Amino acid sequence: MTRQKRSRHRLKRTVAPYLYLSPSLVIIGLLMLLPMVAVISYSFQNSAVLRRDPSFAGLKHYQAIFADPVFWASLWHTLYFTCMSVIFHMTIGMIFALMLNSDRINPTLRNILRVLYILPWLFTAVIIAVIWRLLLEPNGVVNSILMQLGIIGSKIEWFSSPETALHAVTFANIWAGYPLFMVSLLAGLQGIPKDFYEAADIDGAKAYQKLIFITIPQLMPIIISISLLDFIWTMQVFPLIWITTGGGPIYSTEVLSTYTYKLAFSSYNLSQASASAVVILLISLGLTLFYIRYQKAR
Amino acid sequence: MTFRIKPIMLKVAAAAWLLGATSAMADTTLEFTQWWEPELPAGSLRKIMDDFEAANPGIKVTLVSGPYAATRDQISVGAATGTLSDVVGLDGAWVNNLNAQNALADMNPMMDASKFDKAQVADIIKVDGKAVMFPVASFVYPVFVNLDLAAQAGVTKLPSTRAEFLEAAKKMTHADKNQYGWVLPLSLQSPSGVQNDMMSWVWASGQSMMADGKPALDGKPVVDMLTFVKSLNDAGTISPGIATKTEQEKVEEFVNDRVGMMVDSLAHVNLIRKRNPKLNFDIIPVPVVEGYTGKRGLPYASWGIGISAGSKHQEEAWKLVQYLMSEKVNAKLVSLANAFPGNVNAKPDFVTSDKAFGKAFEIFKTGYLANEFTGLPVAEDLMTQFDVEAQKMLAGEQSPEQAAANAQKGWTAKF
């Protein structure tokens, strides 16, 4: 083989993988990178999108949103909503997964429970929002039951009262999201070798000790991975909050997604909305990098 | 080879020339973006367009239809990218932003050139002196009263003043039976309740939320209205869940005998009848402040129409606008929509065939259309700001005066 042929062959070998990847790279570039770059550039422009000749604004829009107390309230509500959702998704998911994995429950009942527990996952965010609006409205089923049981003395406006609204939307989101954990943890539980538990039985370990020293450590990679993904997804929840409360009453359920939406489509301030979207992007990016590093470390 | 290619190339060139020439002679096609078609009986708007095409040979109309919110977004993006349709359906709340983008054509020169009779239209929406929108159809907002609930509560005379309304609302309220006198939807998801259910009280008494084109929310009219709404809330007459209630839920509560009175669009009459054929209701004008005897402002929402500033077919577009605003066509369109006409001479057929509509038409004729949000900058944002302050007031966090002053501060920053 001549030197020329060899170098051509080497070039082919180097280029070939990129050629195979190119369709995906083009799609990712067009559908993900391009919009992202556009939004970032809008955040540095005055009257972005609305004018054909927008001027450079520097960090003006970032300063404006950081000076807005509603932005900080939204950030706090987002963190509360997300943290509580992830914690309860994990706890409920774990309890239900353990229940479905237990031999002590009758197999028929287990199959019925498996279908029932996964139901919330089958509904779209809009349906979930409508269901909970109906259940939690002042004349709804929840108030009626609580009043009959004597737990509350008068009707509570769950979504309409600033004191309860954030807890109510968080509750609805917890209900909607635990099946992801349940299914993932159930798969993990079924993958734990039985020998571990048999050895623990021989050593006289109690149920809670087996849970703490065998089950949870074995499930830890799944728990961390799903928690991180859930954190990223929950942070971006929009339809559930928008349909149930619209970010109100007052600003009590305003989260970063509704705050950004209002800036864009109510105030038509697409530059500030882009700045707010970039803040969400940076938070999500930080979490994603953390997730990738964790996956690599494994 | 060369000999074969040449004839083919010649044929291709001839075909291209023929195609170009044919296109040049072809009809002008107007694009008309609106949200009306899905809200009208199937095929009815297309039929009107077919009639227009028959009356104007050489002009074709392509309807681009979608739901209201999708149309709003589409028009915003079209205005930004210079791809706005030739003719666009407009909401008064959008025109200021669209005008700021120079997206709407000034129809003044077109009216002058065609000697258009301006007296025949109910209103011409102007921004910076430019005529940018005509209301084609108006959906007015009177007060609906459940006559059975009123009779049971001993309300024999339907209220015509705010004090009478408060009394009637108190009498109709029985919280233990989930029955309330009034319903107020202030969901932030769609803050139009501020316009339809709150400011309507100001306009009904011939008052204004503006002064010299600037917000005057801290003036007596708005503070009085807020005080009135607070008094209704303090008396427990408003159906609970105000802060997240939507217009649709408001109508549902009225339909289901859960509220005695509501301010609502006349466009919902048929919906109410369909949902509860047994419901016995009447329509009255929005009650006024004590002692007011002048003309009543009637809140309304409208299907507006305008022409794109970037349209290459403005002459043809103007013909379509004129056609839709003409007496007969306008009457036909508003009859289909159960709306009131944009042409003052048009008389929709439902006002003679339906008692409720007939009564509303009388209210319409004796009053005037009033919606001060039309043409304001970021109208929806202004409503959201006012909504938040009203919610704080109803939650007991501030007085009506403070709510008005805070809203005024927020609004002033937007002007």
- CA-nearest residue to B98 within chain A is A50
pLDDT at B148 over 60: yes
The pLDDT score that the predictor gives to residue B201 is 97
Which of B217, B174, B170 is CA-nearest to residue B198? B217
Q: Which long-range contacts (CB under 8 A, 24 or more apart) does A123-131 make?
A: A123/A176, A125/A176, A125/A237, A125/A239, A125/A240, A125/A243, A126/A239, A126/A243, A128/A172, A128/A175, A128/A176, A128/A240, A129/A172, A129/A239, A129/A240, A129/A242, A129/A243, A129/A244, A130/A243
Indicate the class that CATH gives domain B143-284+376-414. Answer: alpha beta
Stretch B250-278: mean pLDDT:
91
Stretch A158-170: mean pLDDT:
96
The pLDDT score that the predictor gives to residue B23 is 47
The pLDDT score that the predictor gives to residue B76 is 80
A184 phi/psi in degrees, rounded to 5: -65, -45
CA-to-CA dists, residue A236 to A38, A80, A227, B236, B252, angstroms? 19, 13, 14, 38, 32
Which of A57, A101, A11 is CA-nearest to residue A274? A57
CA angle A264, A269, A272 (to 5 degrees): 90
Confidence of residue B15 (pLDDT cuts 50, 70, 90): low
**How many Å apart are CA B11 and CA B391, to the nearest integer?**
73
Q: Between chains, do A244 and B244 touch, taking CB under 8 Å as contact?
A: yes
Structure-model confidence comparison of residues B324 and B192, the more confident one: B324
Taking the Cβ of residue B244 and every Cβ of chain A, the question of whether any pair is shorter than 8 Å is answered with: yes
B33 phi/psi in degrees, rounded to 5: -95, 130
Q: Smallest Cβ distance to A162: which of B258, B381, B395?
A: B395
CA dihedral for A197, A200, A204, A210, sign (positive or negative): negative
Which of B194, B260, B108 is CA-nearest to residue B407? B194
For residue B296, the 8-state DSSP code is P
| Residue from A266, A270, A272 to probe the interface with B (highest B Cβ count within 10 Å) | A266
- Residue A262 makes CB contacts below 8 A (sequence gap 6+) with A247, B381, B384
Q: Smallest Cβ distance to A250: which of B80, B381, B395?
A: B395
Q: Which long-range contacts (CB under 8 A, 24 or more apart) does A34-41 make?
A: A36/A281, A39/A274, A39/A277, A39/A278, A39/A281, A40/A274, A40/A278, A40/A281
Q: What is the DSSP string of B209-255?
A: SEETTEE-TTSHHHHHHHHHHHHHHHTT-BPS-GGG--HHHHHHHHH
Q: Smallest Cβ distance to A246: which of B187, B380, B397?
A: B187
Structure tokens at A120: 């919330």
HEC string of A87-149? HHHHHHHHHHHHHHHCCCCCHHHHHHHHHHHHHHHHCCHHHHHHHHHHHHCCCCHHHHHHHHC
Residue B195 and residue B222 in contact, taking contact as beta carbons nearer than 8 Å: no
Q: What is the DSSP string of A183-204?
A: HHHHHHHHTS-HHHHHHHHHTT
The pLDDT score that the predictor gives to residue B24 is 46
Q: Between chains, do B80 and A160 touch, taking CB under 8 Å as contact?
A: no
Q: Between chains, do B245 and A160 touch, taking CB under 8 Å as contact?
A: yes
The pLDDT score that the predictor gives to residue B16 is 57
Taking the Cβ of residue B378 and every Cβ of chain A, the question of whether any pair is shorter than 8 Å is answered with: yes
Q: Smallest Cβ distance to B97: which of A159, A247, A268?
A: A268
DSSP SS3 for B294: coil
pLDDT at A166 over 90: yes
Q: Smallest Cβ distance to B380: which of A133, A139, A266?
A: A266
Residue limits of CATH 3.40.190.10 in chain B: 2-139+301-359, 143-284+376-414
The pLDDT score that the predictor gives to residue B348 is 85
Q: Between chains, do B378 and A155 touch, taking CB under 8 Å as contact?
A: no
CATH T-level topology, domain B2-139+301-359: D-Maltodextrin-Binding Protein; domain 2 (3.40.190)
Q: Which B residues 161-220 touch A at CB under 8 Å?
A: 178, 186-190
CA-to-CA dists, residue B148 to B152, B159, B277, B279, B376, angstroms? 6, 15, 13, 8, 40
pLDDT at A248 over 90: no
**How many Å apart are CA A126 and CA A149, to the nearest integer?**
30
Chain A environment of B395 (Cβ under 8 Å): 161-162, 249-250
- Residue B5 makes CB contacts below 8 A (sequence gap 6+) with none
CA angle B8, B12, B15 (to 5 degrees): 135
Q: Between chains, do A250 and B243 touch, taking CB under 8 Å as contact?
A: yes
Q: Smallest Cβ distance to B243: which of A133, A137, A160?
A: A160
> DSSP alpha helices (H): ranges in B326-399?
327-337, 350-353, 355-366, 379-394
Q: Can you count the helices (H) and strands (E) in chain B?
A: 18, 14
**How many Å apart are CA A89 and CA A181, to the nearest integer?**
6
Q: Between chains, do B395 and A242 touch, taking CB under 8 Å as contact?
A: no
C-alpha A26 chain-centroid distance: 27
Chain B environment of A42 (Cβ under 8 Å): none
Q: Which B residues 50-79 touch A at CB under 8 Å?
A: 73, 76-77, 79
DSSP SS3 for B30: strand
**How many Å apart are CA B138 and CA B343, to the nearest integer?**
10
Structure-model confidence comparison of residues B271 and B21, the more confident one: B271
State the nearest Cα–Cα gap between B351 and chain A, in angstroms. Answer: 36
- Residue A159 makes CB contacts below 8 A (sequence gap 6+) with A133, A136, A137, A165, A168, A169, A244, A245, B241, B243, B244
Q: Between chains, do A157 and B378 touch, taking CB under 8 Å as contact?
A: no
Max avg pLDDT among A147-151, B20-24, B400-404: B400-404
Which of B378, B305, B379 is CA-nearest to residue B104? B305
Task: Provide the β-strand partners of residue B5.
Answer: none
- CA-nearest residue to A250 within chain B is B388
Chain A environment of B387 (Cβ under 8 Å): 248
State the nearest Cα–Cα gap between A29 and chain B, in angstroms. Answer: 22
Taking phi first (over 0 means left), then psi (-120 to 50 degrees means alpha), and beta for anything else, what does residue B165 get? alpha
- Residue B143 makes CB contacts below 8 A (sequence gap 6+) with B165, B261, B262, B263, B264, B283, B284, B285, B286, B287
Stretch B129-140: mean pLDDT:
92
Give residue ranges of A with CB < 8 Å to any B CB. Answer: 49-52, 133, 137-139, 155, 157, 159-162, 165, 242-251, 262, 265-268
Task: Provide the β-strand partners of residue B87.
Answer: B32, B307
Q: Smallest Cβ distance to B391: which of A50, A139, A248?
A: A248
Q: What is the DSSP string of B167-224?
A: HHHHHH-BGGGTBEEE-----TTSTTHIIIIIIHHHHHTT--SEETTEE-TTSHHHHH
**How many Å apart are CA A179 and CA B42, to the nearest integer?**
42
Q: Which domains does chain A have, with CATH numbers?
A: 69-297 (1.10.3720.10)
Taking the Cβ of residue B97 and every Cβ of chain A, the question of whether any pair is shorter than 8 Å is answered with: yes
Structure-model confidence comparison of residues B10 and B321, the more confident one: B321
CA dihedral for A145, A151, A154, A159, sign (positive or negative): negative
Confidence of residue B3 (pLDDT cuts 50, 70, 90): very low
Lowest mean pLDDT among A123-137, A235-249, B60-74, B395-409: B60-74
The pLDDT score that the predictor gives to residue B415 is 83
Q: Between chains, do A138 and B378 touch, taking CB under 8 Å as contact?
A: no
Stretch A152-168: mean pLDDT:
93
Query: What Rg do the C-alpha atoms of chain A give, in angstroms?
Result: 25
Chain B environment of A247 (Cβ under 8 Å): 188-189
- CA-nearest residue to B75 within chain A is A50
Structure tokens at B127: 């921004």
pLDDT at B90 over 50: yes
Q: Between chains, do B392 and A250 touch, taking CB under 8 Å as contact?
A: yes
Q: Smallest Cβ distance to B189: which of A157, A246, A251?
A: A246
pLDDT in tens, B365-386: 888 888 999 878 788 899 999 9
Spell A264-278 as b/e; 16+ CB within 10 A means b.
bbbbbbbbbbbbbbb
**How many Å apart are CA B347 and CA B334, to the nearest integer?**
9
Taking the Cβ of residue B398 and every Cβ of chain A, the question of whether any pair is shorter than 8 Å is answered with: no
Kindly report whether the peptide bond that precedes residue B400 is cis, defined as omega within 30 degrees of 0.
no
Residue B393 and residue B400 in contact, taking contact as beta carbons nearer than 8 Å: yes
**How many Å apart are CA B39 and CA A144, to the nearest integer?**
37
Q: Smallest Cβ distance to A155: which of B73, B240, B378?
A: B240
The pLDDT score that the predictor gives to residue B1 is 43
pLDDT at A215 over 90: yes
pLDDT in tens, A48-78: 877 777 889 899 999 999 999 999 999 999 9
- CA-nearest residue to B179 within chain A is A139
Q: What is the DSSP string of B51-86?
A: HHHHHSTTEEEEEEE--HHHHHHHHHHHHHHT---S
Chain B environment of A240 (Cβ under 8 Å): none
Q: Between chains, do B80 and A49 touch, taking CB under 8 Å as contact?
A: yes
pLDDT at B22 over 70: no
Lowest mean pLDDT among A235-244, B23-32, B173-182, B209-218: B23-32
Residue B199 and residue B186 in contact, taking contact as beta carbons nearer than 8 Å: no
Exposed, middle or buried by CB within 10 Å (0-12, 13-18, 19+), for B414? Answer: middle
Q: Smallest Cβ distance to B244: which of A246, A251, A266?
A: A246
Lowest mean pLDDT among B33-37, B88-92, B355-359: B355-359
Ranges of beta strands (E only) in chain A are none
Structure-model confidence comparison of residues B354 and A259, the more confident one: A259
